[in-house]
Amino acid sequence: DNFGIKEALQRLQIKDENLGTSTGNDWIDTNGEYITSSSPADGAVIAKVQVSSREAYEQTISKAEDAFKVWRKMPAPQRGEIVRQIGNALRERKEDLGKLVSYEMGKSYQEGLGEVQEMIDICDFAVGLSRQLYGLTMHSERPGHRMYEQWHALGIVGIISAFNFPVAVWSWNTMLAWVCGDVCVWKPSEKAPISALACQHIAASVFKANDLPEGISSLIIGDYKVGEYLSHDPRVPLVSATGSTRMGKLVGEAVGARLGRSLLELGGNNAIIITENADLDIAIRGALFGAVGTCGQRCTSTRRLIIHESVYDEVKNRLASAYTKLVIGNPLDEKNHVGPLIDKDAVEGYLGAIEKVKAEGGKEVVAGGVLEGEGYESGCYVKPCIYEAENHFQIVQHETFAPILYIMKYSQLEEAIQKHNGVPQGLSSAIMTTNMREAELFLSVAGSDCGIANVNIGTSGAEIGGAFGGEKETGGGRESGSDAWKAYMRRQTNTINYTTELPLAQGIKFDI
């Protein structure tokens, strides 16, 4: 029965055929076409979902505008209470939702559970945040004047998310946006829309139980054309987009052309520097999970290892031997370490990258290939592989969303850092060293140029408490923890005069 996925789908209110446009508890029928979501685990159809139309989008936006007028006036801690209830609803459905994510996306069940845990964590974070949306006070230069700043809700937040974290990315955005007083319209990846339907049901049930209006949590389904409704719409002051750099440039340009705000969290090309002072047991475990976890389909996946020449052969051999122990198969079966790629297009991308690295002179350390035979019928299972490569190779400069690891040698740390930063992307990074000078140089302004820089842990698996995102082609946006909430609000500076005089700032005299 495929690990109880049928029952999980029922409990998550997923039918064989589902509408795809929702303002919460109301679902809009467009009478239009459906997309079919199949599992890369076994190739079976999970469910169908209807694509949103322009008219349905208009209805959604108008409900969202109405809802914003109510929601923004509710005190932030009360909005936090709603998010607390959503967190509890997610706790109740953690196994079901984790299973669906695993089945629809292909990540291991453990990682599916981990993804739902990230949602629960951001709910907890947002609940606390709802009492802390702090602004500063300033001292006015004028007597009898008071100055301060306050943060107001922004309006409708559009969320475009990717297939690889089909539910957590939505939650990092919505839970913050909701406590900030915004309403959200979500366009999930058309490659994992069923997981999104499940989230919408969970959130909508909480809004309903609290007698809140439709339009606080909305869902639209479709490909990039539906995403364009959001990026071109001046009624959507913020579009938060997670996915490829190609997609991010299109969204950023469209939103920028109307001077809206975009929050972009795009591709990475994450590397680990392994120095001669590394604890190699930790370095190898960190690199292994970073490179093959989620079958290499995290934006934080480890793509490059930059290894000191004195430990190069040992790292290479130990990693190669660890790769032989990887068990690849159905992600719902907990004995397997690595599941499938998302679809056959991704398999093509993986095979193409292997061709390219070979053509550019890369040397095979662990061979890749598509798996065939029993259990691999979906055609999406591939072997994680390792190539010795040069940092300047075109294919190494490019993010391939697959378990291909490029390894290279260095002799001086400065040179390693140069290689490390010598790619167009700047998301996550790590150094493996027990030497304090090496670690601090890597974390200094002359070190890693990424949004995330770690010491003695891998590049993936960031906690929600920190701001998540990166520089350069990664897009510059920050989601999740720290003060990332500020992107979801508008800042207002207020000056109040409580005297009978009217002095002008900068000492300007203007008397008549």
- DSSP designation for 306: E
| Closest separation in Å from C-beta 315 to ligand UN1 | 22
Choose among 186, 224, 181: nearest CA to 202. 186
Question: Measured from the CB atom, is 293 or 447 closer to ligand UN1?
Answer: 293
Residues between 112 and 131 that touch ligand UN1 (CB under 6 A):
118
| Closest separation in Å from C-beta 425 to ligand UN1 | 13
| Closest separation in Å from C-beta 294 to ligand UN1 | 7
Instruction: Please tell me whether residue 108 binds ligand UN1 under the rule CB under 6 A.
Output: no
Element spanning 265, H or E: strand 261-265
Question: Measured from the CB atom, is 229 or 468 closer to ligand UN1?
Answer: 468
Question: Measured from the CB atom, is 215 or 461 closer to ligand UN1?
Answer: 461
Q: At what angle do helices 76-92 and 109-129 cross, to 10 degrees?
A: 160
Residues between 278 and 317 that touch ligand UN1 (CB under 6 A):
298-300
Question: Measured from the CB atom, is 53 or 425 closer to ligand UN1?
Answer: 425
Stretch that binds ligand UN1, among 66-74, 85-93, 202-210, 457-465 (CB under 6 A): 457-465
| 3-state secondary structure (DSSP) of residue 370 | strand
Stretch that binds ligand UN1, among 40-48, 92-100, 459-467, 497-505 (CB under 6 A): 459-467
Question: Measured from the CB atom, is 176 or 365 closer to ligand UN1?
Answer: 176
Question: Which distant-in-sequence residues (6+ apart) come within 8 Å of 467 by Cβ?
Answer: 451, 478, 479, 480, 481, 482, 483, 484
How are strands ordered across the β-sheet holding 452-455? 363-366, 385-388, 404-410, 302-308, 270-274, 428-432, 452-455
Question: Which distant-in-sequence residues (6+ apart) come within 8 Å of 91 by Cβ?
Answer: 120
Measured from each CB, the residue nearest to ligand UN1 is 462
Instruction: Please tell me whether residue 462 binds ligand UN1 under the rule CB under 6 A.
Output: yes
Choose among 2, 39, 34, 44: nearest CA to 343. 39
| Closest separation in Å from C-beta 262 to ligand UN1 | 16
Give the pair of three-digit tokens for residue 280: 């190699």
Distance (Å, whole) CA 189 – CA 227: 10
Instruction: Please tell me whether residue 460 binds ligand UN1 under the rule CB under 6 A.
Output: yes
Instruction: Please tell me whether residue 245 binds ligand UN1 under the rule CB under 6 A.
Output: no
Distance (Å, whole) CA 418 – CA 428: 15
Instruction: Please tell me whether residue 189 binds ligand UN1 under the rule CB under 6 A.
Output: no
Instruction: Please tell me whether residue 461 binds ligand UN1 under the rule CB under 6 A.
Output: yes
| Closest separation in Å from C-beta 473 to ligand UN1 | 15
265 classed as catalytic: yes
| Closest separation in Å from C-beta 321 to ligand UN1 | 25
Question: Measured from the CB atom, is 298 or 304 closer to ligand UN1?
Answer: 298
Quick one: residue 98, left, alpha or beta (phi over 0 = left, psi -120 to 50 = alpha)? Answer: alpha
The 3-state secondary structure of 8-55 reads HHHHCCCCCEECCEECCCCEECCCCCEEEEECCCCCCEEEEEECCCHH
Give the pair of three-digit tokens for residue 404: 């291909």
Question: Measured from the CB atom, is 158 or 470 closer to ligand UN1?
Answer: 470
Handedness of CA 111, 113, 115, 118 (dihedral sign): negative
Amino acid at site 25:
N
| Closest separation in Å from C-beta 396 to ligand UN1 | 20
Question: Measured from the CB atom, is 165 or 410 closer to ligand UN1?
Answer: 165
> Do residues 42 and 221 make contact, with C-beta atoms less than 8 angstroms apart?
no
| Closest separation in Å from C-beta 479 to ligand UN1 | 9
Instruction: Please tell me whether residue 433 binds ligand UN1 under the rule CB under 6 A.
Output: no
Annotated catalytic residue, options 111, 190, 214, 265: 265
Q: State the CB neighbour count (10 A cutoff) for residue 254.
A: 18
Q: Which residues pair with 472 in a beta bridge?
A: 425
| Closest separation in Å from C-beta 295 to ligand UN1 | 12
Give the pair of three-digit tokens for residue 400: 């391939």
Farthest-apart Cα atoms in the chain, separation: 92
Question: Measured from the CB atom, is 121 or 438 closer to ligand UN1?
Answer: 121
Question: Which distant-in-sequence residues (6+ apart) come within 8 Å of 55 by Cβ?
Answer: 30
> How many amino acids of this chain bind ligand UN1 (CB under 6 A)?
10
Stretch that binds ligand UN1, among 80-88, 271-279, 412-420, 454-462 (CB under 6 A): 454-462
Residue 503 vs residues 120, 146, 300, 494, 512: alpha-carbon distances, Å: 51, 13, 54, 16, 14
Residues between 142 and 171 that touch ligand UN1 (CB under 6 A):
164-165
Binding site for ligand UN1 (CB under 6 A): 118, 164-165, 242, 298-300, 460-462
Which residues form the catalytic set? 265
